[in-house]
Each structure stands twice: as C-alpha cells, then as structure tokens.
Amino acid sequence: MKDKLFKFYKWSNSWQGTIVLVLLFMFFVAQAFLIPSGSMKNTLLVHDALFAKKFAYGIPTPHIPWLEIPILPDFRGDGHLIDGPKPKRGDIVIFRYPLNEKIHFVKRCVAKGGDKLFVKNKQLYLRIGNDDKKTIDFAKKMKAKIVDVNGEKFAFNPYSTIHKGIHHDPEITEIDGFNAPVFNYGPIIIPEKEFFMMGDNRDHSADSRFWGTINYSQVVGKPWFIYMSWDDNYKIRWNRVGKSINEIEQNLRDGILKYPVTEGHKRLE
C-alpha cells in the first residue's frame, strides 16, 4: 500500500500528473470564472474572480476549459454525467448561454417550471406553481408583499427583501424597442423542467426577459467563493477576497458591504 501511495505521489508531482489532476479538479469539482459585466451587481461585481462549485446540481458533462469542447458524449441527453438537485428559486446559477453555449452566464433563478410571472413597470410579479396557496407561502418565506392581479395571487418583487443586491437604476426611465422587456414582460408560464433567470442589476441585465428560459442541460454549477477581486483602478477589494457568496449576501443584508448603485453602469450587460 505504501509503495502504491509513493508511486502516486511521485506521479502527481510530475508535469503529466499535475495536468491530469488539475483537469480532473476543473472538470468535476471547481472551475475559476471572472465576472466580466455588472449584470449581477451589487451581489457579484465586475472583476470578482471566483470558483464555481461544479457538483452543486449534479456532475455536468466535462468540457475542455476555455475551448469549451466536450470530452465525453452527452450520454443522458441532459448535459450531465450524474443527475443532481435542480436550481432552486433564488439560487445564483452559472449556466451556458442558450444562444452560444461556449459562453457562461451567471444570473439568479427567479422561477421554475409551472410558475407564472410577468414584469410591469420594472417590477417582478411571481406566482408559484400557478397556485394561490403556494404563492402565499412563498411570499411569506421571502418577506414579500402579496398582490391580487385579475383574481390571482402574486408575490411582488419576492427576492428583493432577502437578496439586497437586487436593485433598479433610476436613470433608466424610457421604454424603447431595445430595452422594453426591462419595463414590461409577459405574463408567461415557465415550461416544465426549465428556469427563468434574471440579473440582480435588473435594468442592466441581458437575461431570460430577452432570450427565454434555460433547461437543466445548460446548468453548470453555482458560484462558491471569491478568491480575488479588484476594481476598475486595479485596487484589490480585500473585503471580498475569500468570502463565499452566502457570506457576501449576508454582508449585504447586514449593511456591511455597500456600493454605489450606478457605478460603472452600461446600457445593458
């Protein structure tokens, strides 16, 4: 046994062994990502470098990093080698962009299959399972207001109380053909086994309001922790380094992390 362990140790220290172990780690455990845009501000910021937990929703079919070429067939037809739990409402999810699956996006899952939602005047209205009781229970859990629309119960902006990074840009006030879905969208019922994604920076996010829902085959994982972060002037944000995404969200709830809402906004990200 000692001989085998020693051989493995020697092999793991070789350049071949190091490459194999690193690739296995990236394929099945964690992968590094850099947040390129402000669509998830103020929860995730531009230049947050983070590790994604790739086993959070099962084991996705491994791809060669950066090239995004699959190294195994999609045996199950759902983009995963091993099935796992599906994204929950409120989860921040890393997934493959439906219009170009070599690109990764990160957004918050706001609705699942069977839910009904619409956006009116930028505000999100969500009906869980298209059912009054489920909606009321969910709204209470999320500390959200319950409203009646055409005889149906909806949770009004259900994530904004718990997830403090969610916000709107008061400077975005005009509707045009490009960003109309930011103001008014739906109503729609989410197809079964699909997920509706929105950015926390609600008025600066290209998300499911523009390109539709995603399915489980496109889900890669979820953000785990930030290993480095810097601002536009390359100054390190030490108050974010080493923190898990749950810690970041708790800090936002506690008022420990505060950032200018309009800093670095682009028209749409």
Active site positions, annotated: 39, 107
**In this structure, what token pair is assigned to residue 69?**
């070429």
Rounded alpha-carbon distances, angstroms, from residue 50 to 21, 142, 226: 20, 27, 4
Give me the DSSP letters along 151-217. TEEEEESTTTTT-TT-B--TT-----TTTHHHHEEEEEEPPTTEEEEE-SBGGG--SHHHH--EEGG
Task: Provide φ and ψ at 183, rounded to 5°.
Answer: -90, -45
Closest CA to 167 of 47, 252, 76: 252
Q: Which long-range contacts (CB under 8 A, 24 or more apart) does 152-155 make?
A: 152/116, 152/127, 153/127, 154/116, 154/125, 154/126, 154/127, 155/125, 155/126, 155/127, 155/128
Measured N-to-C along each axis, helices 2-12 and 15-28 cross at an angle, to the nearest 10 degrees, of 90
Query: Cα separation of 123 and 22, whole Å?
Result: 44
